[in-house]
Amino acid sequence: MTISGVFVISVTPFHDDGRIDFDSLDSALDFYVAQGVHGVTLLGMMGEADKLSDEERLAVVRRGIARLAGRVTVVVGASGTSLTAMRTLARAAMDGGAAGIMVAPAAGLRTDDQVHSWTGHVCEALGADVPLVWQDYPPTTGVFLSASLFGRIARDFPQVVVLKAEDNPVLGKITAIRRAEREEGQRRVNIVAGNGGLFLPQALARGADGVMTGFGLPRMLVEVHARHVAGDLAGAEDIYDSYLPLVSYELQPGIGLAVRKEILRRQGAIRSAAARAPGPKLSAADVAEVDRLLARLERRLKA
């Protein structure tokens, strides 16, 4: 598996009573494809996978892959589960047509050797035929991945084919990994940025192949990437700059998911902005700020 371009992290839509809204899952996936994304990741952290039962995860994966029907590449998140549950979900995803599985390290890993050993256990559990996306997101996992440790992982576990780089500061890590590939013969691994698109133009300039993240207006991610690939770096940054206030607003800890779902709801991608409890809910003041940010964005884009 190789990854480049924009892989959007799909939300998991819910009815107001907390049940999964599978019809809205269908419409959300259709929306993402219409926005021009190159791939979709199901059950990412912002897909509220941690709030789903094992049976619900399987149902979302099967429904999502069937709906996408080969139109774009699919990656499935399997983090936060036992190795046995991870294997079951991964096998169902791969048998259904997914291209690979995304995993984040288990909380509590502290040393480089522990992180390396955990990666080996995951690779062994899933099997050598399952390509892996290694998600580097310390704010949630509490696990730190240095560029040199990732070099060990790239050397020892060839099925790790993508690094989702969203530690902060992240740009120096991307540079260090790409330098090791050029100067030390380290195996090249695809790198995708995350963090809701924060620093996307800079990450692409440092050597990222694309982005794997959620954002309520994924067309921005697609256009920034397209302009970068075309060599229009200034144009990519101009587009990004227009959306930056909304990018930063959506990245607020605690309510970011609610903001994203509300923006998707307004575009008709999902019917309800509800998050499964315990989850965030926007206040009247939050909604008013979203109104102003979207109106401001519309004016800037017209200008």
pLDDT at position 201 is: 98
The whole-number average pLDDT for the span 254-281 is 96
pLDDT digits (tens, 9 = 90+) for 120-129: 999 999 999 9
For a pLDDT cut of 70, what percent of the chain falls above it? Answer: 100
CA distance 226 to 233: 10
In the chain, the domains with their CATH numbers are 5-302 (3.20.20.70)
pLDDT at position 2 is: 81
CA distance 268 to 94: 30
> In DSSP terms, which residues pair with 272 in a beta bridge?
none
Confidence of residue 295 (pLDDT cuts 50, 70, 90): very high
pLDDT digits (tens, 9 = 90+) for 157-212: 999 999 999 998 899 999 999 999 999 999 999 999 999 999 999 999 999 999 99
Confidence of residue 80 (pLDDT cuts 50, 70, 90): confident
